[in-house]
Structure 1
Amino acid sequence: MSAPLTQFTITEAAPGYWRVTFNNPPLNFCDQETLIELQRIVGLIEADDTLRVVVFDSADPDFFVNHYDVSRFADFPLTPGPTGLPTFIDATTRLTSSPVVTIASIRGRTRGGGSEIALACDMRFASLERAIFAQIEVGAGVFPGGGATERLPLLVGRARALEIVLGSDDFDAATAANYGWVNRALPDDELDAHVDNLARRIASFDKPALAEAKRLINRRTLPSAEDLMQTQEAFLNAFSWPTVPERGARIAQKRDEVGPDFEARMSYHLGNLGTETQ
C-alpha cells in the first residue's frame, strides 16, 4: 500500500471530477515531496478510466504553488518515471498528454516551478485580485528549467515570453490573461464557481470525445519531451556557474534583512538586488 499524500488532498467533487488541493505551509514551497507526490497523482489520474477532469487549487490564498525551496535544492528528484524522464519532466509531460482534462484554479502567488506546474495544466483561471505570476529564475542567477521556456512562447509569443523570463518580474492576473498566460482573470468571489461550473460541464461529457479532442489539439501545442529534457539538463548545469553561489549569498542576505516581505515581493527584491550591486 502506498504512503498517504502529505502535501496534496484529492477530493471527488462529482463523478468523473476530482479537485486536487496543494498545502505545504507556511509558504507553499515546491520541494522534493511536491514533485514526487505530483508524479504519484498523475499515476492515479492515468489509472482511473472514469475520470474526465481534475482541478488543481491551493489551500493557501496567498500562494498557489510557490517556487522551489532553494534550501532543499540538493534533494531535487531526478529518478526516472514511466516515460524514462526525470521526476518533474515525467510528471508534467504525462499530465499534458493524459486524456484527462486539467485546470489550474490560481489564487495567490505562483512563481518559478509553481508557475511551471500551472503551465502544465490544460487551462488556467486566476483570481483578478489575488493571483500573481512570475518566472523569477533569471533574477536568481539561472533560468527556468521546468518547462516555462518551452510552454510560455507557445502561449504568449516569443517577445512576451522573453519579457516574462528575462524581466523576472511579477505580473498581475489581468496582464497574464491579456498575454494568454491564463485563460481568464475573474473577480475573486467568482473564480471558484466559474471553475467548478466548467469542470462539472466537462465531466458530463463522454470521455472518448474529450480525450480525442485534447489529443488532436496537443499535436500542435505541446513542446517535445526532448526539448524539456535538454532544458532541465542545462538548468542543473547552470548551478556550476561561478556567479550562482555569489548571487545566492546576496539573495540569502536580502531575505534575512527584509524577512517575510522577501517572499511577498520576491520579484521586487530581486530587481533591487541587481541595482544595489552594480
Structure 2
Amino acid sequence: MSTPSRFTLTEHSLTLWRVTFDNAPVNLVDGTLTSELDEVFTRAENAGVAVMVFDSADPEFYLAHYDLSAKDELDHVLAHPEEVHPYTALLIRLSKLPLATIASIRGIARGAGSEFLLATDMRFASREKAVIGQFEIGMSAITGGGPATRLPGLVGRGRTFEILYGGLDMDGARAEQYGYVNRSFPDSELDGFVDELASRIASLDLQTIKDIKYFVNLATLRPDAEFKDQIDAFWAAVNRPAQQHVGKHLFEAGLQQRSEVERDLPHWVTRFQYRPGSDQE
C-alpha cells in the first residue's frame, strides 16, 4: 500500500502492528482515513498479524469526530440510500478482525472517535488525559456509528441513555467506572501497560486468538443491519435545518480547528440550539 496520510503504521514485529493517528489539526475521521485503515486491515489479515494497537500522535486529540464539512459525501449518501456507509462498514469489519485490537486512549475521542473505540476489543485510557463522549445530540443528530447498539452491553441501559442523551464528556477514570473502557491508568503508566499486554498477546498462538475472537463475537455482536439503520438516521439528521443551524454556528466559532470549540464541544453545542419558529438564522 502507499504511505498513509492520516496515520503512521509501525510494524513492531510480524505479529504486532501499531496505527498512530496523525491528521492535523485535530485528528478528524474522514473518507481518506477510512480507506487507508481498510487497506491496513486487509494487509494485517493477509500477513497473520495477531495484535493491532491504535493510539495518537497528538496528546490532545485522539480522534476528534467525523469531518462534518464533507458536503459531497452527504449528497452521495442521500442519493444512494441502499449503500452501507464506508465508515460503518469499517467499524463492523474492525469488530470482526481475526486478531486482537487495542485502543490506547490519550486525548479527545468524541463522536466517530468514540465509535471507533467501541468497535475495538479492548480500550485502555489515560486517567488524566483521555476525554471520551458522544456529543451528537447537541448537533440535533443521533450517533451514527453504533453506540446505541454497542454501549448497552458495556455500560448498561441507563448509563447508555445518560451518555447519549446528555452528550457530555467523561474522563478516563469515569469511563473505567462505567465500563466504557477496560481500565484507566495514570498517564505515565498507560504506554507501558499497553505495550506489555500487546507484546504478550502477539507472542501467543494466532489460531487460538482467532478462535477466541470468533466465539466472543458470537456472544456479543449485534446484527450488522442495526448499524446501517443508525448511520442512515445520522445522515438524515445532517440534512435537517436543526443540525445545519448548529453546524453553521459551530464552524463560524472554530469547529474542526484547534480551538476552544473542539476542546469543549459539549458546552458549545448548547449555545446554538435551533428553535423552530424563532428569528434564528
TM-score of the alignment, normalized to the shorter chain, above 0.5 = yes
Aligned to 2:127: 128
Q: Name the CA distance, whole Å, in 1 between partners of 2:234 and 2:53.
A: 29
Aligned position for 1:70: 68
Letter aligned with residue 221 of structure 1 = T
Instruction: Check conservation: 1:18, 1:55, Cα contact below 8 A.
Output: yes
| Corresponding residue for residue 203 of structure 1 | 202
**1:73: how far off?**
4.5
- What's the TM-score, normalizing by structure 2? 0.89
CA contact (8 A) 2:242 2:274 kept: no
User: What is the deviation of 1:126?
Assistant: 0.4
CA distance in 2, matches of 1:195, 1:171: 21
Unaligned residue ranges in structure 1 (runs of 5+): 79-83
Q: 1:272 to 1:240 in 2, by over 3 A?
A: closer
Alignment of 1:91-240 (within 5 A): 91-240=90-239
| One-letter amino acid of the structure 1 residue matched with residue 150 of structure 2 | R
SS of the counterpart of 1:42? Answer: helix
Q: Secondary structure at the match of 1:128?
A: strand
Aligned match of 2:85: 86
Cα 1:259–1:32, aligned 2, differ >3 Å: closer, same or farther?
closer
Any stretches of 5+ residues in structure 2 without a counterpart? 78-82
Amino acid at match of 2:200: R
Please say if residues 14 and 200 of structure 1, whose CA atoms lie closer than 8 Å, have aligned partners that are also in contact: no
Matches of 2:91 and 2:71, distance apart in 1:
19
> RMSD between aligned alpha carbons?
2.3
Give the C-alpha shift of residue 107 in structure 1. Answer: 0.3
Normalization by structure 1: what TM-score? 0.90
Tell me by how many angstroms 1:120 deviates: 0.9
Contact 2:20 2:54 in 1 (8 A): yes
- State the 1:239 CA deviation: 2.3
**Contact residue 32 and residue 72 of structure 1 kept, 8 A:** no
Cα displacement string for residues 38-81 of structure 1 (whole angstroms, at most 9, x for unaligned residues): 222221222222x1000001000001111012122433686xxx
> How far off its partner does 1:259 sit?
7.8
User: Are the aligned partners of 1:140 and 1:251 in contact in 2 as well (CA < 8 Å)?
Assistant: no
- 2:85–2:231: 8 Å Cα contact kept in structure 1? no
The 1:238–1:168 alpha-carbon spacing in structure 2 relative to 1, beyond 3 Å, is same
Q: Distance in 2 between matches of 1:43 and 1:53?
A: 14
Distance change in 2, residues 1:200/1:143 (3 Å): same
SS at match of 1:45: helix
Residues 135 and 144, structure 1, Cα contact 8 Å, conserved in 2 = yes
Range with greater deviation from structure 2 (167-176 or 233-242): 233-242
Q: What is the aligned residue count? A: 270
Change (3 A) 1:206 1:45: same
